[in-house]
Amino acid sequence: MRFPLSLTISMASYMLRQKTGGIKKFPLVLMLEPLHACNLRCSGCGRIREYAETMHRQLSVEDCLASVDECGAPVVSICGGEPLIYNGLPELVDKTLQKGKHIYLCTNGTLLEEKLGEFIDLARRNRRTKSRLYWNIHLDGTAAVHDAVTEKPGTFAKALAGIAAVKKAGFYAYTNTTLYKTSNIADLTVLAEELRRIKIDGMMIAPGYGYDSVQKSDPFFLNRQEIYDIFKEIREKMKPYRITATPVYLDFLCGTRHLPCAAWANPTRNISGWKSPCYLITDKHYETYHEFLRQTDWTKIGFGSDPRCTDCMMHCGYEPAAVLFGNTFRDLLRTACWQLR
């Protein structure tokens, strides 16, 4: 299966409860950022620019857990910043798992080998750890490409060694790759082959997008037509690999299907509050999740509604839309076959 069965069952039953309860907007994944500090300064990262003044601050474990409860999403993506430099991470992971959640732990991987022992110990104490904790390691290409993006030689080798250690320890491991104007499919397939050899569980591939915090200083982001072109090539040439984009979302990335932005389904909680309207664009931070959901004008978000969204096809807004609105019988059948393949 492309995703663990426990995650599939949890998400499907949760969505059914929301829809049968008449709830129109509900969260699928909480993007939880306990800190914005990082040990790298990657070319395409907006966090180190947007939150430069709060790099020294962190959410407490208690605040993080309160946000998990307040939001109620079945999946928590712990990101940042670099979560592995957050002192309370093992405790946060343990207590979030105890709440019955699934966790994607997003990391650049450079500290993974060093820190993994803490999570191996956690797995000995909490039987849910290996079935519900999924490591998500950021790799933007093969060594030359990735090290150029991170602006630090050796980061690819450290991340790859971390992935190998994660798999050896019996955890799930996925990668997250962002594509830029400099990206190419030949490099991506070489990366996919290398990852297949160490039995990666899946590759998430996202189109780089020049949002407010980066577009003025980093002109190598893809426009919408370039995204269509590169993902048509990905669909054709990367069929043998475990790409995690659902068939409906991939239709959207190839330009053959329209989807509305559903950024409300992947809310972001960080040091400043609940980030509105989305993971990438900041108009305001709200004190509570319910204020964020009710007071953000969702009719003004997305392609055709906000000029800042013109070239955005990011998974944080459109992958949940593919799940929520790709619900015809044909869509469901395609997704089921894709998941089982």
Domain residue limits, the chain: 5-19+27-340
Among candidates 335, 320, 326, 324, which has minimal Cα distance to 31? 320
pTM higher than 0.85, yes or no?
yes
Fold of 5-19+27-340: TIM Barrel (3.20.20)
Beta-carbon count within 10 A of 122 CB: 18
Q: What confidence score (pLDDT) does residue 212 get?
A: 58
Q: What confidence score (pLDDT) does residue 2 get?
A: 85
* Residues 11-33 pLDDT 10s: 999 999 999 999 999 999 999 99
Residues in the chain, pLDDT under 50: 214, 216-217
Q: Which amino acid is at 73?
A: A
Beta-carbon count within 10 A of 144 CB: 10
Give the phi and the psi of residue 122 in degrees, each rounded to 5. -60, -40
Q: What confidence score (pLDDT) does residue 39 get?
A: 84
Residue 179's DSSP bridge partners are: 207
Cα–Cα distances (Å) from 223 to 303, 309, 313, in that order, read 12, 11, 10
Among candidates 298, 228, 293, which has minimal Cα distance to 261? 298
Burial class (CB in 10 A: 0-12, 13-18, 19+), 221: buried
Beta-carbon count within 10 A of 246 CB: 21
- Euclidean distance between the first and final Cα of the chain, in Å? 6
